[in-house]
């Protein structure tokens, strides 16, 4: 299991004084500040974080060591990570996206359908993007209790009951 969880990303600079546009992926968006300092994907660079104000689609924020608009521009696209032990533990029916990616997906008869490539959300509910040798194209499986009755992180597998005609 990955020890670092992506909690946000830098969308670019905000203003001319070195603030960044920050997208938070936390269930309660402003909680991202509580996990400071955040790191890059390797855990090498540390970024102390202070939210300065809410803006459209995120927050204006200060990252430690970023003083100019140019430095903030250079960080555009940076994904920010917190350690798993900093984050709240989840109820049994909730999962961090990073834990689902790569899991094998089987149907209710035990046949391998594919693997989870990504977790997407286009507004209504989470979708598991599946890919695999038996699939003609990428399949987006609704991540609902009806379609995904079992997620077994210890065994690295998901049991799915896809809607008729999806796969």
pLDDT in tens, 106-140: 999 999 999 999 998 877 788 999 998 878 788 99
The confidence score (pLDDT) of residue 98 equals: 86
Report residue 72's pLDDT band, with 50, 70 and 90 as the boundaries.
Answer: very high
With residues binned 3-state (H G I as helix, E B as strand, rest as coil), the percentages for the chain, rounded to 5, are 10, 40, 45
69, burial (CB in 10 Å: exposed 0-12, middle 13-18, buried 19+): middle
CA end-to-end distance (rounded Å), the chain: 28
Please give the helix or strand (H or E) that residue 35 lies within, else none. none
The confidence score (pLDDT) of residue 7 equals: 93
Please give the helix or strand (H or E) that residue 92 lies within, else none. none
Please give the helix or strand (H or E) that residue 76 lies within, else none. none
Residue 2 has pLDDT above 90, yes or no: no
Q: Considering the entire predicted model, what is its pTM? A: 0.72
Mean pLDDT of 94-103: 89
Mean pLDDT of the chain: 91
Percentage of the chain beyond pLDDT 70 is 99
The confidence score (pLDDT) of residue 78 equals: 95
Domains, the chain, ranges and CATH?
A: 4-86 (2.40.30.60), 97-160 (2.30.30.240)
The confidence score (pLDDT) of residue 1 equals: 53
């Amino acid at each position: 299991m990955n020890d670092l969880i992506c909690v946000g990303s830098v969308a670019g600079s905000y203003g001319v004084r070195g603030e960044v546009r920050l997208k938070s992926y936390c269930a309660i968006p402003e909680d991202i500040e509580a996990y400071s300092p955040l790191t890059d994907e390797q855990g090498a660079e540390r970024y102390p974080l202070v939210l300065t104000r809410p803006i459209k689609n995120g927050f204006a924020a200060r990252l430690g060591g970023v003083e100019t608009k140019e430095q903030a521009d250079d960080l555009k696209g940076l994904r920010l990570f917190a350690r798993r032990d900093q984050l709240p533990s989840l109820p049994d029916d909730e999962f961090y996206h990073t834990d689902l990616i790569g899991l094998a997906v089987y149907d209710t008869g035990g046949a391998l359908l594919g693997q989870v490539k990504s977790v997407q959300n286009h507004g209504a509910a989470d979708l598991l993007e599946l890919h695999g040798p038996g699939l003609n194209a990428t399949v987006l499986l609704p991540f609902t209790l009806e379609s995904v009755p079992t997620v077994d992180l210890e065994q690295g597998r998901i049991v799915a009951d896809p809607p008729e005609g999806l796969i």
